Chain A
Amino acid sequence: MIDYEKVLNPTVCAIKPSGIRKFFDIAATMDDVVSLGVGEPDFQTPWQIRKAGIASLERGRTRYTSNQGLLPLREEIAAYVKRHYELNYRPDTEILLTVGGSEAIDAAIRALVSYGHADEVIIPQPSYVCYEPITELAGGVPVIIETKAENDFKLTPEQLRAAITPRTKALILPYPCNPTGAIMEKADLEAIAAVLRETNIIVISDEIYAELSFGENRHISIASLDGMQERTIVINGFSKAFSMTGWRLGYACGPAPLLKQITKIHQFAIMCAPTTSQYAAIEALRNGDDAVDSMRKEYNRRRRLIVNGFRKLGLACHEPKGAFYVFPSIQSTGMSSDVFCERLLKEARVALVPGTAFGRGGDGFVRASYCYSNEHIIEALARIQKFLNHL
């Protein structure tokens, strides 16, 4: 008999499995559960984008592309990030197509963190769940900053400065933020940039929700600020904006010397991003803005509906200005997030995600996604109201 404990990588074994798995397994066995748990768009990929994917298959485009991805697509990305975020990247050396934004995050962290040096990666939390385990797998040390509701879950320059050490290699900047819906406005980013300009810290700016920004201004990328492009890797992709989650296509933009090494990791681990998805993505970037606009409007209506709903229930809810989540506080109930979510599921058949799933600073909050129809959201709120009334 093999003793698998001895065979396996202890770093992998030490990674905690997502606690939420157990929670959703319970939900899956129950009937009539109204979930606000899913973090992917309910919209289908716009038809013209799907059609472009189909057309590429009909033409027999079924082989690998170059490691970096199709050149016409990289050219479209260069034009797109210029048009939307005033970013300037060269298609030949500064853009890489990846398997979702996730792969880009993984490869970027791996390219920066070296084994055995206790390199530190600063991660603001509550945030998306992958940054911490990926850092650990790369042999790095996650340094967590707890963002606060009173700061609208923004990263503050004081917090950042306090977290920086001589071993800091990278800062994850996950805005617009899953699960808090927080965004960083230009002044917020300027303050962060001012701290970073004196350092060699590389920003991994996860901007996958950039197109889902509901503030007065468009999304701003930290890479567009003076002196920041040379120290920033911008991660973006097609999943959220274009409702293309299943196509698994994202990209990284950054300085050529960084992208060269990241591309090496991609080349050996992945080869290239899915070919069909790349052809569909060309259409998305060329002609998809209208479809994204109409989805954004729909999300925005739902956002206002659900924020108003939670506040009416007496749960404090800071205004989420990006992504498609609200992050209300349940501290007034006196319960922990985990207990609240478990009881809500069992007693009212509504599935929310406890804030603790997103790391430190998440307790006392729950995440509700509004990737659901208005009617679905209204039904969930009605059930939550009933639950709260019976407490």
Chain B
Amino acid sequence: MKSELLKLLCRNARYTNEELAAMLNSTPEAVAEEIRALEKEGVICGYKAVIDWDRLDDAYVSAIVELNVVPKADLGFEEVAEKVMSFREVESVYLMSGVYDLNVVVKGPTLQDVARFVARELATIDSVTSTTTHFVMRRYKEMDTNLYDVNEDDRGQFLL
């Protein structure tokens, strides 16, 4: 049940335990128990809404920043990753294969705020040797959710 349950929660974390139980052919109690266990194990780390901020006046700007880093002898990339993570402007941090090391998603109220943050806070970290910043121009899909063109149901009302 575990992986099916997680897939459903990824789709919509607000299904009730009763709804989940019906879909999984289980009981609400068993579902509640499984969710508690997954939370405790740290498999489920949180529940958040998928928001299309562009529909609001207080939209924000986000950028993907590629960092090249000189890893520390015994700490590898962990030390710099921890430093980068600690900023509230940083939404996610990934260690990457390929031509750069850390992929950092940064958000801020305006383009200038983000640019300033990268220049002042990320570029100045000791082991960071270079940064490349790509601003997001439009969000089409976020966390598996289509933000772009919510498909209208174009099915005819036939009596079939």
Contact = CB atoms under 8 A, between A and B. Distances in A.
Contact of B157 (A35, A128, A178, A301): A35
Given A304-B22, A304-B23, A374 B15 contact: yes
B160 A20 contact: no
A308 B159 contact: no
Classify chain A's interface size: 20 to 34
B104 to A, nearest CB: 33
Contacts of B159: 18, 20-21, 24, 39, 129, 353, 357
A310 B111 CA distance: 51
A357 B159 CA distance: 8
The residue among B11, B24, B159 with the most chain A CB atoms within 10 A of its own CB is: B159
B153 A42 contact: yes
A375 B158 contact: no
B157 A24 contact: yes
Nearest to A375: B12
A18 B158 CA distance: 10
Contacts of B155: 38, 40, 42
A309 interface: yes
B19 interface: yes
Interface in B119-160: 153, 155-160
A39 B19 contact: no
B4 to A, nearest CB: 9
A28 interface: yes
Contacts of A27: 157
A28 B153 CA distance: 13
Contact of A305 (B23, B153, B157): B23
Closest CB pairs A-B (n = 9): A39-B160, A308-B22, A24-B157, A301-B23, A20-B159, A305-B22, A38-B155, A304-B22, A18-B159
Interface of A: 18, 20-21, 24, 27-28, 35, 37-40, 42, 128-129, 178, 301-302, 304-305, 307-309, 312, 351, 353, 357, 374-375, 378
Given A38-B153, A357-B159, A374-B12, 11 more contacts: A18-B159, A24-B157, A35-B153, A35-B157, A37-B157, A40-B155, A42-B155, A178-B160, A305-B19, A374-B15, A374-B23
10 contacts: A20-B159, A27-B157, A35-B153, A301-B23, A305-B23, A308-B18, A308-B22, A353-B159, A357-B159, A374-B11
